[in-house]
Amino acid sequence: MDFDLSEEQNLLRQSAERLLADQYDFEARKQHGQDEPGWSRAMWAKFAELGLLAIPFSEEDGGLGGGPVELMLVAEAMGAKLTLEPYLPTVILGGGILRRAPESLRQRWLEGVIAGTTLLSLAHAERQARFTLSDVATRVRLDGDHYVLDGDKSLVLAGDSADALVVTARLNGERRDEGGIVLLLVDAKAEGVTRNGYATQDGRRAAEIQFRNVRVSQDNLIAGPETGFALLQAVTDEAIAALCAEAVGAMSAISGLTVEYLKTRKQFGVPIGSFQALQHRASDMYVELEQARSMALFATMMAAEQDAAKRGRAISAAKVQIGRSARQIGQEAIQLHGGIGMTMEAAVGHYFKRLTMIELMFGDTDHHLRRVAETVGPL
Amino acid sequence: MDLRFTDEEVAFRQEVRDFIATNLPAETRERLQSGHHPTRDDIVNWQRILNEKGWAVPHWPEEWGGTGWGPVKQYIFREELQSAPAPEPLAFGVYMVGPVIAEYGSEEQKKRFLPRIANLDDWWCQGFSEPGAGSDLASVRTTAVRDGDHYIVNGQKTWTTLGQYADWIFCLVRTDKEAKKQSGISFLLIDMKSPGITLRPIVTIDGGREVNEVFFDDVRVPADQLVGEENRGWDYAKFLLSNERVGIARIGVSKERLRRIRELSASEHASDGTPLISDPRFAEKIAEVEIDLKALEITQMRVLAAERAEGKGKPNPLSSILKLKGSQIQQRTTELLMEIAGPYALAYEPEREEGSNEPPIGPEWAGLSASTYFNARKVSIYGGSNEIQRNIIAKAILGL
């Protein structure tokens, strides 16, 4: 048992943190958000230069062969600065699926992903599904040597700027069956794909995407109806683990901002941090932060577990802790800041909003608590 | 980074588990499993079995019986004891006064006391708290006045746990009334048979007799029973308290209780006749504690890893979290056990603890569930109340 990082991992963390410290303070972030398409392509190129976009891909695919620990370090650093760029959809979701795709697809797409010239996303969620991962109504049928896609996908992260989409669709079975789901790689500009991009509450982008009679050649099949769901599940769990780390970065930052505010803001002639009522609330935030950090480490450790039931239970447990901590820390940070916390001009509210969105993504706290409660076995 | 235990640590855990399985008296294990406190004999016998094995005082200096285990192995050992469940070593000797004597005592004191603590030949109790002192430990009013080669002790201690069995008590006493609060305190070892000592039990809300008041009326204490230097007692007390916080999360105890909660909620029925565990509301309550406990376990691992890296001595600020969360989880598990008992938690049958032949009202295990819940309210009060822990976090960590 050890929590030590290897020399390479330390280096990775330091270089990511240094880049963001230089180029991603709160004012710079506002600028990045003004860029087309709602985040900074210049920053994205710097991420590529630093190798951040190559982390999870194998060395033979041109990547760095990193695992959950490396992704955790980057996600935490990005969470601390509330970066807007589509790292989760491109590298962790789209990339996570593509790196397990047949060789021809990896060869065609990964070079661009790693170079920062190709953006990906996962078009999976549907309006009716809420948090049920296997709820896929989008249909796909085989027509000669092409698949034909029909359906509507919702809340596709950074879907408006993606070059290629990993799309989940049902080849057979009932709407919520785990079997029968296939994963296809679809060019975002293919005929029959209509994208409607919009802003999300946390300053990022998402898209509603319609697929109407979209013809996809057979060699774009990533996973067939027997393996599609398991792959989707594995990558979703990896994404939740990374999201937990991102949340820890954000919670750590927002807690730091709050403590700083308590030390400097004066009322009744003294710093408000001298009031015990506020001290105890800040202490509880700290406890929640450290418990969340522990569970983010747990999620990282379990993200690569092969046994899906065991992995899922652990990931859900982590998401519950993150969700509870995020809600308490976020709300308390606003409360302790008082009026200024309610304004767009203070950073604290932006962290609060991102944390709230993280809570609601990939299954909210109740969803994951139910998953832990319904399953057995030691955590 | 690898959060799993090493093969060696896993093997060590198995060795400890096997030893406990073979050597822990069955009646002791059964008593603890059913929620009863261990008897005096349970504690003494088990300590002597451990001592024979060489595991009585793992964390002490090797010269005095320590095993030389690192923090991780020490943690595994305690967790296995707690989850067996086996009686834990009597903390007042093994974790409190023993390390203080080993660190600050004279050679003569070490020889005289340490082997008898390890073998539990002497039962020690703690004389720190005083009436009105609460968490403000340094406001000691019990006095010790030097008279030739003796101290004359007058005053009162309270919350003295299991003092009714004690042969010795270690006390904080005021030796300099003029000095500032913390600096006039000394650390004195007192024979409980000394003339002038009276003990009065305090009955706690669970109906138990666990704690006592101890009165000192002109008690003569040989001066060679002073630990270290006069008026330096507060330093020794701080050293003692930092040791106390290490095991305070009691993760093994909560793990064992969670096991019982899962077991019982599968066998006990809710009002509609189905097992309690199939009630989603109840299942989620259990899941919430499980998640809390897992998070705390990893926080505990982080504390141990930091301790291993930095060496002992510097108390890790994270240990306040262990106290805060650990106590909340312990309390929550006792609540859930009582909720499983439901109406059968109402019956109060203290005489059954002494082994009555009358059949219990309701299931055997349910009889103590409310008492255990009442008793567990103490854990967020002792060892530095949870509010004190929040003060520590605010000051020492957040710099407020």
Do B284 and B361 lie in one domain? The reply is yes
A351, B124, B268 from A79: Cα distances, Å: 9, 51, 45
Do B176 and B259 lie in one domain? The reply is no
Please give, rounded to a whole number of angstroms, the shortest distance from the CA of A366 to a CA of chain B: 9
**CB B197, CB B213: distance < 8 Å:** no
Quote the pLDDT of residue B353: 56
Domain CATH for A252: 1.20.140.10
- Please list the rounded mean pLDDT of every run of 10 residues in chain A (379 residues): 90 98 97 96 98 98 97 98 98 98 97 98 97 98 97 98 98 98 98 98 98 98 98 98 98 98 97 97 98 97 94 97 98 98 97 98 97 87
Report the alpha-carbon distance of residue A326 to residue A360 in Å, rounded: 11
- Flag whether A170 is in a domain: yes
Please name the residues in contact with A282: beta carbons below 8 A apart, sequence gap of 6 or more: A255, A258, A259, A262, A273, A332, A336, B394, B398, B400
Do A269 and A315 lie in one domain? The reply is yes
Residue type, A88: L
Do B129 and B189 lie in one domain? The reply is yes
Contact status of A122 with chain B (Cβ, < 8 Å) = no
Displacement of CA B291 from its chain's centroid (Å): 24
Average pLDDT over residues B201-206: 95
Question: For B397, which of A3, A286, A298 is closest by C-beta distance?
Answer: A286
**Domain boundary residue, one of B232, B260, B294:** B232
Nearest of A19, A314, A65 to residue B3 by alpha carbon: A314
Do A249 and A319 lie in one domain? The reply is yes
Do B157 and B271 lie in one domain? The reply is no
Do B44 and B136 lie in one domain? The reply is no
- Flag whether B119 is in a domain: no
**Domain boundary residue, one of B175, B204, B232:** B232
Displacement of CA A3 from its chain's centroid (Å): 23
- Flag whether A338 is in a domain: yes
Do A241 and A163 lie in one domain? The reply is no
Do B54 and B81 lie in one domain? The reply is yes
| B299/A291 touch (CB, cutoff 8 Å), yes or no | yes
Please give the interface size between A and B, counted as residue pairs whose CB atoms are below 8 Å apart.
Answer: 123
Please give the ipTM for the structure prediction.
0.96
**Domain boundary residue, one of A98, A118, A138:** A118
Do A110 and A156 lie in one domain? The reply is no
Nearest CA in chain B to A69: B1
Give yes or no for residue B34 having a pLDDT over 90. Answer: no
Give yes or no for residue B87 having a pLDDT over 80. Answer: yes
Question: For A320, which of B291, B318, B387 is closest by C-beta distance?
Answer: B291
Confidence at B181, pLDDT banded by 50, 70, 90 = confident
Contact status of B396 with chain A (Cβ, < 8 Å) = no
Report the alpha-carbon distance of residue B64 to residue B300 in Å, rounded: 27
Quote the pLDDT of residue B345: 92
Contact status of A283 with chain B (Cβ, < 8 Å) = yes
Question: For A369, which of B284, B395, B398 is closest by C-beta distance?
Answer: B284
Report the alpha-carbon distance of residue A244 to residue A316 in Å, rounded: 11
Do A137 and A42 lie in one domain? The reply is no
| B305/A2 touch (CB, cutoff 8 Å), yes or no | yes
Do A305 and A207 lie in one domain? The reply is no
Mutate which of B291, B300, B389 to test chain A, going by most A C-beta atoms within 10 A? B291
Quote the pLDDT of residue B245: 63
Please name the residues in contact with A331: beta carbons below 8 A apart, sequence gap of 6 or more: A352
| B283/A294 touch (CB, cutoff 8 Å), yes or no | no
Domain CATH for A56: 1.10.540.10
Look up the domain containing B197 and give its range: 124-232
Contact status of B72 with chain A (Cβ, < 8 Å) = yes
Quote the pLDDT of residue B305: 84
Q: For tokens 């899962």, name the residue.
A: B262
- Flag whether B350 is in a domain: yes
Q: For tokens 């029968």, name the residue.
A: A180
**CB A222, CB A266: distance < 8 Å:** no
pLDDT digits (tens, 9 = 90+) for B113-156: 999 999 999 999 999 999 988 778 888 999 999 999 999 999 99
Average pLDDT over residues B44-64: 96
Contact status of A69 with chain B (Cβ, < 8 Å) = yes
Do A180 and A137 lie in one domain? The reply is yes
Give yes or no for residue B218 having a pLDDT over 90. Answer: yes
Confidence at B375, pLDDT banded by 50, 70, 90 = very high
Please give, rounded to a whole number of angstroms, the shortest distance from the CA of B394 to a CA of chain A: 6
Contact status of A7 with chain B (Cβ, < 8 Å) = no
Confidence at B360, pLDDT banded by 50, 70, 90 = confident
The backbone torsions φ and ψ at residue A359, rounded to the nearest 5 degrees and listed phi first, read -55, -35
Look up the domain containing A100 and give its range: 7-118
Do A253 and A364 lie in one domain? The reply is yes
The DSSP element (H or E) to which A156 belongs, if any, is strand A146-157
- Flag whether B107 is in a domain: no
- Flag whether A1 is in a domain: no
| A301/B3 touch (CB, cutoff 8 Å), yes or no | yes
- Flag whether B150 is in a domain: yes
Domain CATH for B209: 2.40.110.10
Report the alpha-carbon distance of residue B161 to residue B163 in Å, rounded: 5
Residue B63 is among the residues annotated as catalytic for this protein: no
Quote the pLDDT of residue B355: 58
Quote the pLDDT of residue B351: 66
Nearest CA in chain A to B386: A280
- Flag whether A2 is in a domain: no
User: In chain B, what residues touch A297 (CB-CB under 8 Å)?
Assistant: 1, 3, 298
- Flag whether B2 is in a domain: no
**Domain boundary residue, one of A118, A140, A174:** A118
Task: Spell out a b/e string for A158-192, using b for 16 or more CB atoms within 10 Å of the CB, else e.
Answer: bbbbbbbbbbbbbbeeeeeeeebbbbbbbebeeee
Residue type, B327: S
User: In chain A, what residues touch B287 (CB-CB under 8 Å)?
Assistant: 317, 320, 369, 372-373
Residue type, B386: N
Q: How many domains does chain B have?
A: 3
Do A370 and A233 lie in one domain? The reply is yes
CB count within 10 Å of CB B119 equals: 18
Say which of B88, B210, B213, B244 is annotated catalytic. B244
| A295/B298 touch (CB, cutoff 8 Å), yes or no | yes
Quote the pLDDT of residue B168: 98
Please give, rounded to a whole number of angstroms, the shortest distance from the CA of A62 to a CA of chain B: 24
- Flag whether B237 is in a domain: no
For the record, the structure tokens of B265 come out as 């909620």
Contact status of A5 with chain B (Cβ, < 8 Å) = yes
pLDDT digits (tens, 9 = 90+) for B275-328: 999 999 999 999 999 999 999 999 998 988 887 777 655 667 788 899 999 999
Do A274 and A183 lie in one domain? The reply is no
| B287/A1 touch (CB, cutoff 8 Å), yes or no | no
Quote the pLDDT of residue B275: 93
Confidence at B389, pLDDT banded by 50, 70, 90 = very high
Quote the pLDDT of residue B313: 56
Do A312 and A364 lie in one domain? The reply is yes
Do A363 and A245 lie in one domain? The reply is yes
